[in-house]
C-alpha cells in the first residue's frame, strides 16, 4: 500500500508544482521549462503508482537493483525513469539505454562504459555531467575543469549524448546558501556550450530544501523526494 492516502499525494504534488510556478514567475521564466523529478528511492511501487495517478510522470532512482525492480513492477505505466545516484562502471550495463536520463556521469571511465553498453543495445543514452562545485570529499562529481575534459572525450563516444550538468550543493538549513552554486553551474554550462559549440539545455539542480532557488537560477530539472512522498522509511 502507499505510504499515504491517495489524496495526500495529489495535494503534495500540487503544492510542489505551485512553488515551481511561483519561482519561475519571479525569475521571468515559464514553469513548463522545469521538469519535476520525483525522487522515489526507498519508496515502494505502490507509492510511485499513487503519485503517477495524481499526474506525476518523471521518477528518480539512485540504486540500480531497486530501480530495475520498480520499473519492472510498474511497466504498465508510461513513466520516465531517471538515474540520479552514483553509478559504478560495472553497473553501466544495467543502466545504458534503459533510462530516460542519467544525471550522474562523473568520469571518463564511466562515460566509456555507458557508451559501450548503449551501442551494444543499439541505443544512445542521454547523460548529465555531475559537477562537485563545492569540492566536498564525501560526494562524487567532477571538478569544473574536469567537466570540459569529459565533454571533449564524449565527442568520440556516440553511445552517450551529453545534455547538460547536475550538481548537489552542501546541505544547509538556509536554502539561499545554495543559490551561488546554482548560479555557478549555469555559468559553467554556458561556458561549455560556447567552448564546444554544443547544446546543453539541461541543469539538474535543487531538491526539497532549495528547489525554488534552483528554479530562479535556471534549473530545468528539480529532484524532489520528501515534499512529495513524505519522510522515507530506511
Predicted confidence (pLDDT) per residue in 94-135, tens digit = 999 999 999 999 999 999 999 999 999 999 999 999 999 887
At residue 190 the predicted structure's pLDDT band, cuts being 50, 70 and 90, is very high
For range 201-226, the mean pLDDT: 97
DSSP-assigned letters across all residues of 178-216: GHHHHHHHHHHHHHHHHHHT----EEE---TTTHHHHHH
Say what the pLDDT of residue 94 is. Answer: 96
pLDDT digits (tens, 9 = 90+) for 141-164: 999 999 999 999 999 999 999 999
Instruction: Please give the average per-residue pLDDT across 29-52, as a whole number.
Output: 97
Q: d(Cα 44, Cα 50) in Å, to the nearest integer?
A: 10
C-alpha triplet 171, 176, 182: angle, nearest 5°: 80
Of 31, 48, 30, 27, nearest in space to 39 by CA: 48
CA–CA distance, 105 with 102 (Å, rounded to integer): 7
Domains along the chain? 6-229 (3.20.20.10)
Query: Residue 91 to residues 74, 83, 95, 98, 114: CA-CA distances in angstroms?
Result: 21, 12, 7, 12, 9
Q: Would you state the pLDDT for residue 3? A: 65
Nine-digit cell string for 52: 503517477
Read off the pLDDT of residues 47-95 as tens digits, 9 standing for 90 and up: 999 999 999 999 999 999 999 999 999 999 999 999 999 999 999 999 9
Amino acid at each position: 500500500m502507499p505510504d499515504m492516502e491517495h489524496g495526500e499525494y495529489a495535494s503534495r504534488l500540487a503544492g510542489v508544482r505551485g512553488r515551481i510556478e511561483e519561482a519561475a514567475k519571479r525569475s521571468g521564466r515559464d514553469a513548463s521549462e522545469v521538469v519535476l523529478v520525483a525522487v522515489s528511492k526507498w519508496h515502494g511501487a505502490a507509492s510511485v503508482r499513487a503519485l503517477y495517478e495524481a499526474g506525476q510522470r518523471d521518477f528518480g532512482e539512485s540504486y540500480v537493483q531497486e530501480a530495475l525492480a520498480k520499473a519492472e513492477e510498474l511497466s504498465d505505466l508510461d513513466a520516465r525513469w531517471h538515474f540520479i545516484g552514483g553509478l559504478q562502471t560495472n553497473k553501466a550495463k544495467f543502466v545504458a539505454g534503459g533510462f530516460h536520463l542519467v544525471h550522474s556521469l562523473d568520469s571518463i571511465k564511466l562515460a566509456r562504459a555507458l557508451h559501450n553498453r548503449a551501442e551494444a543495445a543499439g541505443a544512445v543514452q542521454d547523460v548529465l555531467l555531475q559537477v562537485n562545485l563545492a569540492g566536498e570529499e564525501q560526494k562524487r562529481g567532477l571538478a569544473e575543469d574536469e567537466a570540459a575534459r569529459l565533454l571533449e572525450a564524449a565527442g568520440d563516444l556516440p553511445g552517450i549524448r551529453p545534455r547538460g550538468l547536475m550538481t548537489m550543493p552542501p546541505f544547509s538549513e538556509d536554502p539561499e546558501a545554495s543559490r551561488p552554486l546554482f548560479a555557478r553551474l549555469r555559468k559553467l554550462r554556458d561556458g561549455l556550450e560556447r567552448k564546444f559549440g554544443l547544446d546543453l539545455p539541461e541543469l539538474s539542480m535543487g531538491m526539497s530544501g532549495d528547489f525554488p532557488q534552483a528554479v530562479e537560477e535556471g534549473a530545468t530539472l528539480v529532484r524532489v523526494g520528501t515534499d512529495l512522498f513524505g519522510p522515507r522509511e530506511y
